[in-house]
């Protein structure tokens, strides 16, 4: 089975090389891209079905080979409970990205689809990497395809948006690289041997107390910008608005999760003491992001900008759950990463479908679209209800778990975050009411009549699997949560042990400082 993971990760890159080098037509290029992405989707689904939930705390389907010769760096891939569901999320949304750009990409199709497949390999590599150098290579590699996708096929301000995206994320990644390098050196100083295995570095390296907060901040810099955590969010709305539909789908659905995945893979288990200490201000930033993103989304008249700001709000919610440092919060944060990817990826695809027909994203230009596009209206309503957390759909499960964990850590933060959920329901349902119901008003009627009409086959094929996944997670969450639980337990137990040790140390210091009975008597 380990070969399946290797093929799933590598074959999109091989297909990208073939698309880029062979003289393929537009139709052939997109067919190869669709076929390659479907192969990876099927393979990652098989891996999920074959995954052993009892052994979720350790990597499964491991494939490893020496990479740097005697240096100890390996090209090592594997899956555990933390990364399991992020793999099929990445492959499914790549299929959605290909299908949603089926008609919209006309110029430079070969280059576009080649970059899309390279991006898929980068995303899968981040979640499957077991070697810290390999992780960082894939982590940085994802910037390159998306930079060109935005910069070449984006909107009027595409070049500025692409450069801003690259500078922001690369600057944070440099600090993260410094933090990871420090971990390597710290492990060598402690054990006398070099290792690049992520699990060994994270769970068998003792970080000096005085260095923990500095290491936390170094890791936080890169991961927080990727999420993005407020106030490091300013690159995101512009990147979303200017990116083509496929770029927005993968940026919101997968690439934002690289930051939260970095938190749960490195920060929480490696420096749990610093995470405990930093929780008040991280929770404050997360709650500000939740409320700011929701309030700003409410003020938007551009549908794509509304969905972009809603991403800031939802990802703040994920960060709050992860840094609650208890089982419910972390499980909810990891699951909500998947839930947000499904719902928001679908919403960006829907915006692209509307834009392809009417060449406008302004909410005021739409009204009564449910009568013109009933199938799109039904699927959009399901996705919107999933996004706002309706019981029976996937968003509800993640939100409940996050709130349970957040209330244990800080009831104030949990209450404020709950207000963000209410605001999210308001602006999403208002969007549905304004655009799809009421008096029929078709935007730019007559000018683009040839492109109007309900969903085509490739658009239905893009949205129906996401809707099915939303119902599956919402109605049978145990199937997903129990496969993450053992890996999350390891993080929680480590965090709890550190917390107990710190409490014991404080008591010892207080006892040592207390005056003796003889001194009190004198």
Do 62 and 76 form a contact (C-beta atoms < 8 A)? yes
What is the C-alpha separation between 222 and 227, in angstroms, rounded?
9
Whether residue 251 lies inside any domain: the answer is yes
Whether residue 518 lies inside any domain: the answer is no
Comparing C-alpha atoms, which of 237, 348, 346 is closest to residue 293?
A: 237
Averaged pLDDT for residues 469-493: 91
Chain segment 227-249, per-residue pLDDT in tens: 888 888 888 888 888 889 999 99
Distances 82 to 128, 265, 268, 344, 484 between C-alpha atoms, Å: 10, 8, 12, 21, 6
In DSSP notation, 349-379 reads: HHHHHHHHHHS--BGGG-B-HHHH-HHHHHH
**Domains of the chain: total:** 1
Q: Is residue 195's pLDDT more than 60?
A: yes
Whether residue 363 lies inside any domain: the answer is yes
Do 126 and 142 form a contact (C-beta atoms < 8 A)? yes
- What is the per-residue pLDDT for 517? 45
Whether residue 522 lies inside any domain: the answer is no
- What is the per-residue pLDDT for 6? 92
pTM: 0.90
The separation between the first and the last C-alpha atoms of the chain, rounded to the nearest angstrom, is 75
Half-sphere exposure of 203 (CA within 13 A, CB side): 14
Do 50 and 109 form a contact (C-beta atoms < 8 A)? no
- What is the per-residue pLDDT for 501? 57
What is the C-alpha separation between 181 and 132, in angstroms, rounded?
9
* pLDDT grade for 445, boundaries at 50, 70 and 90: low
Whether residue 521 lies inside any domain: the answer is no
Do 151 and 162 form a contact (C-beta atoms < 8 A)? yes
* pLDDT grade for 509, boundaries at 50, 70 and 90: very low
Q: Is residue 193's pLDDT more than 90?
A: no
Whether residue 430 lies inside any domain: the answer is yes
CA 99 to chain centroid = 21
Chain segment 339-388, per-residue pLDDT in tens: 999 999 999 999 999 988 888 888 988 888 888 889 999 999 999 999 99
Whether residue 200 lies inside any domain: the answer is yes
Sign of the torsion angle spanned by Cα atoms 343, 348, 352, 355: positive
Chain segment 414-424, per-residue pLDDT in tens: 999 999 999 99
In DSSP notation, 246-282 reads: HHHHHIIIIITHHHHHHIIIIIHHH-HHHHHHHHHHH
Whether residue 520 lies inside any domain: the answer is no
Do 395 and 316 form a contact (C-beta atoms < 8 A)? no
Give residue 252's domain range. 2-443+452-510
* pLDDT grade for 114, boundaries at 50, 70 and 90: very high
């Amino acid at each position: 089975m380990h070969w399946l993971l290797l093929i799933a990760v590598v074959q999109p890159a091989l297909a990208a090389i073939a698309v880029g080098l062979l003289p393929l037509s537009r139709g052939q290029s997109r067919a190869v891209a669709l076929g390659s992405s479907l192969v990876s989707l099927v393979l990652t689904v098989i891996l999920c079905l074959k995954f052993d939930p009892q052994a979720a705390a350790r990597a499964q389907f491991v494939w490893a080979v020496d990479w740097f010769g005697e240096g100890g760096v390996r090209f090592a891939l594997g899956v555990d409970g933390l990364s399991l569901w992020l793999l099929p999320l990445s492959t499914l949304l790549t299929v959605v990205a290909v299908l949603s750009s089926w008609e919209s990409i006309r110029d430079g199709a070969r280059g576009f689809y080649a970059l899309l497949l390279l991006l898929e390999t980068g995303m899968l590599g981040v979640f499957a990497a077991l070697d810290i150098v390999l992780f960082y290579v894939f982590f940085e590699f994802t910037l390159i395809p998306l930079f060109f996708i935005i910069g070449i096929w984006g909107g009027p301000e595409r070049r500025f948006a692409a450069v801003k995206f690259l500078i922001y994320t690369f600057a944070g990644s440099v600090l993260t690289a410094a933090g990871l390098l420090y971990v390597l050196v710290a492990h060598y100083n402690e054990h006398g041997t070099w290792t690049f295995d992520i699990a060994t570095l994270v769970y068998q390296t003792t970080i000096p107390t005085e260095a923990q907060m500095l290491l936390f901040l170094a890791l936080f810099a890169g991961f927080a910008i990727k999420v993005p955590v407020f106030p490091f969010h300013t690159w995101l709305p512009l990147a979303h608005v200017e990116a083509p539909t496929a770029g927005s789908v993968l940026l919101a659905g997968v690439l934002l999760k690289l930051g939260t995945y970095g938190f749960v893979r490195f920060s929480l288990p490696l420096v749990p003491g610093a995470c405990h200490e930093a929780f008040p201000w991280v929770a404050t930033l997360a709650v500000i992001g939740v409320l700011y993103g929701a309030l700003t989304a409410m003020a938007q008249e551009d549908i794509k900008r509304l969905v972009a700001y809603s991403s800031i709000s939802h990802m703040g919610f994920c960060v709050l759950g992860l840094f609650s440092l208890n089982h419910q919060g972390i499980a909810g944060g990891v699951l909500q990463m998947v839930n947000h990817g499904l719902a928001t990826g679908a919403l960006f695809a829907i915006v692209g479908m509307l834009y392809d027909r009417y060449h406008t994203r302004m909410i005021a230009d739409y009204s009564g679209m449910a009568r013109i596009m009933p199938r799109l209206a039904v699927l959009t309503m399901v996705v919107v209800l999933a996004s706002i957390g309706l019981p029976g759909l996937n968003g509800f499960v993640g939100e409940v778990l996050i709130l349970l964990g957040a209330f244990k850590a800080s009831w104030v933060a949990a209450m404020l975050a709950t207000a963000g959920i209410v605001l999210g329901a308001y602006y999403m349902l208002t969007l549905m009411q304004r655009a799809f119901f009421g008096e029929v008003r078709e935007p730019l009627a007559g000018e683009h009549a040839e492109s109007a009409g309900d969903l085509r086959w490739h658009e239905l094929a893009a949205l129906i699997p996401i809707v099915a996944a939303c119902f599956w997670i919402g109605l049978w969450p145990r199937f997903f949560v129990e496969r993450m639980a053992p890996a999350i337990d390891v993080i929680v137990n480590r965090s709890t042990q550190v917390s107990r040790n710190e409490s014991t140390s404080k008591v010892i210091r207080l006892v040592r400082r207390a005056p003796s009975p003889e001194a009190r008597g004198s």
